[in-house]
């Protein structure tokens, strides 16, 4: 795998109770270090449009043909707006990795979905349809992968991580998302 591989990292901005929409930020980085582009789109808080909005964002960007893989911070953005990695990969042809620092608490997720959404089962099915893998490099991370085998996933994470657990494209998307929304970046992905 080329060290200079283009990766799209995606994270959402913070939002407040009562917000109907939330912006999501995409960054295109060459390898783990060199920022080539910044993208933005908006999704509904707790909505169902994250998957399609990500697909649209990719088809719109001039970087589309360079992007070899995308990494999404977690399995949902803007609350419980679940990202269907299988669908994103199918429509764009670009492999998808969802990545989280902490092991997802599936029971807690199911309870929250049940409590808040009439369509909870549809969301739950997307979340649970594909396995979550624990990868331990310097730190553990939890990933779902679409269009890649686990060796490729490990290589991509290795190539694109400088310090800590989170690869640069997701870490940088997170810094931009929080910094632009609140005036100063903060927190962990």
Using CB under 8 A as the binding rule, whether residue 3 contacts its own copies is answered as: no
Closest approach, Cβ 182 to its own copies, in A, equals 8
Using CB under 8 A as the binding rule, whether residue 47 contacts its own copies is answered as: no
Using CB under 8 A as the binding rule, whether residue 150 contacts its own copies is answered as: no
Using CB under 8 A as the binding rule, whether residue 180 contacts its own copies is answered as: yes
Using CB under 8 A as the binding rule, whether residue 92 contacts its own copies is answered as: no
- The interface region with its own copies, picked from 30-38, 45-53, 68-76, 141-149 by CB under 8 A, is 30-38
Q: Which of 2, 62, 108, 115 binds its own copies (CB under 8 A)?
A: 62
Q: Phi, psi (5° rounding) for residue 127? A: -65, -40
Task: With H, G, I as helix, E, B as strand and everything else as coil, classify residue 168.
Answer: helix
Q: CA 6 to CA 107: how far, in whole Å?
A: 35
94-124 exposure pattern, b = at least 16 Cβ within 10 A, e = fewer: bbbbbbbbeeeeeeebbeebeeeeeebeebb
User: Whose Cβ is closer to its own copies: residue 30's or residue 123's?
Assistant: 30
Q: CA 63 to CA 76: how far, in whole Å?
A: 23
Between helix 106-116 and helix 120-129 the angle, nearest 10°, is: 160
Using CB under 8 A as the binding rule, whether residue 172 contacts its own copies is answered as: yes
* Total of residues contacting its own copies (CB under 8 A): 26
Using CB under 8 A as the binding rule, whether residue 185 contacts its own copies is answered as: yes
Using CB under 8 A as the binding rule, whether residue 69 contacts its own copies is answered as: no
Task: Say if residues 58 and 24 touch (Cβ distance below 8 Å).
Answer: no
Using CB under 8 A as the binding rule, whether residue 132 contacts its own copies is answered as: no
Q: Who's near 182: CB < 8 A, 6+ residues apart?
A: 14
Using CB under 8 A as the binding rule, whether residue 170 contacts its own copies is answered as: no
Q: Which residues sit at the interface with its own copies, rule CB under 8 A?
A: 23, 25, 33-41, 57, 60-62, 162, 171-172, 175-176, 178-180, 183-185
């Amino acid at each position: 795998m080329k060290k200079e591989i283009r990766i799209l990292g995606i994270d959402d901005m913070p939002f407040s109770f009562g917000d109907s929409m939330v912006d999501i930020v995409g960054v295109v980085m060459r390898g783990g270090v060199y920022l080539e582009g910044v993208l933005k789109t908006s999704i509904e808080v707790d909505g169902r449009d994250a998957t399609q909005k990500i697909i649209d964002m990719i088809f719109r960007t001039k970087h589309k043909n360079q992007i070899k893989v995308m990494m999404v911070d977690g399995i949902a953005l803007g609350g419980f707006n679940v990202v269907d990695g299988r669908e994103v990969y199918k429509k764009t042809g670009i492999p998808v990795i969802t990545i989280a620092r902490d092991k997802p608490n599936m029971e807690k997720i199911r309870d929250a979905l049940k409590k808040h959404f009439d369509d909870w089962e549809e969301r739950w099915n997307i979340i649970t349809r594909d396995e979550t893998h624990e990868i331990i490099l310097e730190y553990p991370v939890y990933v779902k992968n679409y269009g890649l085998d686990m060796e490729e996933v490990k290589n991509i994470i290795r190539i694109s991580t400088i310090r800590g657990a989170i690869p640069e494209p997701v870490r940088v998307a997170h810094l931009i998302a929080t910094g632009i929304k609140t005036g100063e970046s903060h927190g962990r992905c």
